[in-house]
Chain A
Amino acid sequence: MDDIQKYRDLFFEETDEYLQSLNDNLLQLEKDTDSPGIIDEIFRSAHTLKGMAATMGYTTMAELTHSMENVLELFRSGKVKVTSNTVTVIFKCLDKLSEIVEDLRSEHYPDYDIKSLLYELDALADPKMAAKDEVDSKPALGKSDEISDMDADIIRSALEKGYNAFSIAVKVVENCMLKGARAYLVVNKLEAQGDILQTNPGVEDLEEGNFDRVFKMIFLTKETKENVREMIENVSEVEEVSIDEITEEALPDHYIMTEDAEVAEDGNNANKNSKEILDQKKNQNLRSEEKATTIPTATQSIRVDLSRLDNFMNLVSELVIYRTRLEELSSKQKSTEIDEPLEQVARITSDLQDLVLKIRMQPVNVVFNRFPRMIRDLSQELNKEIDLIIKGEETELDRTVVSELGEPLVHLMRNAADHGIESIAERVAKGKEPKGTIRLEAYQEGNKVVIKVSDDGKGLNPETIRESAVKKGIPAEDLDKNELIQLIFNQGFSTNQEVTNISGRGVGMDVVRQKISSLGGSIEVMSEVDKGTQFVIKLPLTLSIIQALMVHVGTETFALPLGIIEKVVNAKPGDIKESHNEEVYVYREKVIPVVRVNEKLGIESREENQHIILVMIGGKHYGLLVDDLIGQQEIVIKKLSGSLGNMKEYLGATILGNGDITLILDVGNLCSGKGENFE
């Protein structure tokens, strides 16, 4: 395969899509085994995958998809009924395929054992079908050029009418695929110019492709030998054509023509009959042509490299910046002439900005669509009955957020299925429906997206948490119920006694929370014993444009993401106290650590008009001491690159209206290491 490498990316991208669609449709099929539309859809996905894999030279993948296709074809034609067992086998194939694709992606080519899978697939198919493969090497029929008596008479009368009769042998190229169709193409072409009297092998075997590389025909036509040759040679994958003219003398002379007019007559009738059949076929064709008149419209889309979108975003934000500068200049110059076009520019740039943000949006569906399968498998594995209800999967989020969301959500869903939902017996004993329900919901709320994962399972027991907390040395005696539940987000906290296959593999809830807050979001949990548990995740719509609070530290200006700020207070002398050798501030009767931003950054503070910014990071409060407040502003985050990228105090930078560059503080990093002495 020539320069196949450059198609790899495209291949994997498309393969992922087709695998996903296979997955979705299989789940659908399991619910509604009679739906022909879904089988068609599944068949098509398998078929396309096969073609793509074979083109890339991924033989195992092609082989597996080919077998899947064979079985699916039987369902499609209604020869075999779909059962839940078949769906399970096809799911297995799908898993294998995903595994193969993953290995291919990482350029890892182990030997796969797909024999057992292939066997299972075969078993699904009708045993007759499986046996058929072995019969295909039937011996060639009769002797090649033997012309039957009847045919001889037809040939004679045709010759009289000025037809030419040819004995034609066609050899197809080696490894010719779909030989039957290839032969049919030749036959079809010839029949447009005359009549084929006889084929060797017979028509049926010919169309089934039951011949080696050569097939023979007797052909009556008014065309010349050369034209016939050209016609056949014009079919691709034909290697050799040999044509012999049949003369009257060469025909067997069992009968004397005049004496046996009847037979000749018969032959003509036969000819007529075949003509009629052909006409009928043509009519059928016309009818099916009429059927295909509805033309559905398809939405068009193109694929774009994400880095190009990022570039686009950057350019648009620069445009916004210069627009603001122009506005500033124009107001200084007091030239009203420029105001009107400038307003237009302003409008267009903000439209552009909206547009590019929208382009970067992706529906959460991309993450959600793996869950139906996951829950199905989990419920089988755990022997529980679980209903998954997904709502709002069309809710959109910035692409970067969506792609990071998978892992924490998988964790929450697994927890819900494993620890949340009780076993059937337990549920019945509690007087609940035997079937548990897990809900996954997403919706937009202002400039945030809310994702809820809830189950109607056993809920979190605050008392168990308390015990576990005390054992781990976490002071939990005077926490109320709600506070206790929030403890599950603490590092190294697990109430689960036994580690099962499904959850409790060391990825704790603290990791989930960390991930969510690294995305600029928050997570809360609500739970009631025996009623269920609900996690509420709130995420910003986008990561690239945020609301920020602009502050002064010394003579420098910094931006702080507004999302994490709870409150800003004026720092009066004496507000900041010493405790455990650290500076603290008392907020709502709780002692919280104070971080002097100027000290952290090595800047001299002016020590006037100081403010404490109260932030919430990972469930803990911190106070950031800064000098002056400037105000709230929408800023575009630009990543720091090169050696600046290593400075962990900053999230990035932004350019202000006056062209100044301002650094955005990474509050999480500034606060880490503070306040560990108490808590």
Chain B
Amino acid sequence: MAKRVMIVDDAIFMRMKLKDILEKNGYEVVAEAQNGAEAIEKYKTDKPEIVTMDITMPEMDGIAALKGIKQIDPGAKVIMCSAMGQQAMVMEAIQSGAVDFIVKPFETDRVLDSLGKASK
């Protein structure tokens, strides 16, 4: 069974890129959200097994969304997507229960490594 993933990022470009990597490698992207609020809503309805979560987004950022999702489902597996220089944010996310983080620009191998480990 392909793992069900939700991609959260405000840039369509990033979502497409990530989706492409995942779908070519046997994951099923069941939902996409462009901000934190949407991510929480879609988490409820689409019940993904893994979430990739961008940190900087309008409306509600990735950390708030992570906390929201963790509240709904403490076992949720959320991987943060960050960029260089967001160390403090990433740490906050880890403290809030993110299972892992990947750093942009995405390298296919690292994305798969992280997703693979998270799906265990």
Q: Which residues of A contact B (CB under 8 A)?
A: 2-3, 7, 10-11, 14, 41, 43-44, 47-48, 50-52, 54-55, 57, 62, 66, 69-70, 73, 173, 177-178, 180-182, 184-185, 188, 207-209, 233-237, 281, 285, 288-289, 291-292, 295-298, 303
Contacts and interface: CB of A to CB of B under 8 A. Distances in A.
A298 B87 CA distance: 28
B58 interface: yes
B85 A7 contact: no
B17 A236 contact: no
A66 B85 contact: yes
Interface in B82-104: 82-87, 90-91, 94-96, 100-104
Contacts of A184: 90-91, 94
Contacts of A70: 85
Contacts of B38: 298
Nearest to B33: A298
B90 A178 contact: yes
Interface in B37-80: 37-38, 40-41, 56-60, 64, 67-68, 71
A288 B103 CA distance: 25
Contact of B56 (A14, A47, A173): A47
B67 to A, nearest CB: 5
Given A285-B95, A295-B40, A178 B103 contact: yes
B83 A209 contact: no
Contact of B67 (A48, A288, A295, A296): A288
Range for the number of chain B residues in contact with chain A: 35 or more
A57 B106 CA distance: 11
Contacts of B56: 43-44, 47-48
B11 A52 contact: yes
B85 A55 contact: no
B110 A236 contact: yes
Contacts of B83: 47, 50-51, 54
Given A55-B14, A235-B100, A295 B37 contact: yes
A54 B85 contact: no
B13 A185 contact: no
Given A66-B85, A73-B85, A180-B87, 17 more contacts: A7-B13, A7-B16, A10-B16, A50-B83, A51-B11, A52-B13, A54-B83, A55-B104, A62-B105, A178-B103, A184-B90, A207-B87, A236-B117, A237-B110, A288-B67, A295-B37, A298-B37
Contacts of A288: 67
A14 B11 contact: yes
A292 B114 CA distance: 27
B16 A292 contact: no
A292 B68 contact: yes
B105 A55 contact: yes
A66 B104 CA distance: 12
Interface in B4-53: 10-14, 16-17, 20, 34-35, 37-38, 40-41
B54 to A, nearest CB: 8
Contact of A51 (B58, B105, B108): B105
Given A11-B13, A54-B105, A235 B117 contact: yes
A236 B114 contact: yes
Contact of A185 (B67, B100, B103): B100
B90 A181 contact: yes
A298 B117 contact: no
B59 A296 contact: yes
24 contacts: A10-B16, A11-B13, A14-B11, A44-B58, A47-B56, A48-B56, A51-B83, A52-B11, A55-B13, A173-B110, A178-B82, A178-B87, A178-B103, A181-B90, A184-B91, A184-B94, A188-B94, A188-B95, A207-B87, A291-B64, A292-B64, A295-B60, A296-B37, A298-B35
B12 A181 contact: no
B22 to A, nearest CB: 13
Contact of B11 (A2, A48, A54, A178): A48
B110 A281 contact: no
Contact of A281 (B64, B90, B95): B95
A178 B86 contact: yes
Which of A3, A51, A235, A292 has the most C-beta atoms of chain B within 10 angstroms of its own C-beta?
A51
A289 B120 CA distance: 27
Contacts of A182: 101
A180 B90 CA distance: 10
A66 B37 contact: no
A188 B108 CA distance: 26
Given A51-B105, A188-B95, A10 B90 contact: no
A70 B106 CA distance: 20
Nearest to B107: A175
Contacts of A185: 94, 100-101
Contacts of A11: 13
Nearest to A77: B88
A185 B117 CA distance: 14
